[in-house]
Structure 1
Amino acid sequence: MKELMRITDPVLISYVESLLKSMNIRYFVADQAIGAAEGSIGAFPRRIQIAPEHFEKAKALMVDAGLENELRP
């Protein structure tokens, strides 16, 4: 898996997941469990991981959605 984004905003995470699901792009949200440990204050970002074969498609989808500033370098 390749890291596409790091996000602390749960609403944005949900939106990104929705976009990825709509295009049948395999992904994984890492660090979900840390939310329980931190008390869900949003101090630790969740990492959106993409299957390598879908990475470029996912990246283009995020650019089309206006989320290019959220992409990892």
Structure 2
Amino acid sequence: MKELISSTDPTVIAFASALLQGEGIKTFQMDVHMSVLEGSVGVLPRRLMVIERDLFRARAVLADNDFDLPPR
């Protein structure tokens, strides 16, 4: 799996997941439960992962929807 985006904003992760699932791209969220360790402050970012073969298509879907993606 490859990291697609990382964000402390759960709405960004949810929106990106919905867009990708609409295109048939399976996603996996990592670090969702890290808030237990940080005291629910929301400082640690969540990561959205995709299968490596879907990475190019997933980046294209998010770019078409004006997501700020980190450089590869």
Q: Paired residue for 2:50?
A: 50
Give the count of matched residue pairs: 72
Q: Paired residue for 1:71?
A: 70
- Cα–Cα, structure 1 residues 33 and 13, in superposed 2: closer, same or farther, change >3 Å? same
Unpaired stretches in structure 2, ≥5 consecutive residues: none
Q: Does the 8 Å CA contact 2:27/2:48 hold for their aligned counterparts?
A: yes
Moved over 4 A (4+): none
Unpaired stretches in structure 1, ≥5 consecutive residues: none
Q: Does the 8 Å CA contact 1:5/1:72 hold for their aligned counterparts?
A: no
Return the TM-score normalized by structure 1: 0.86
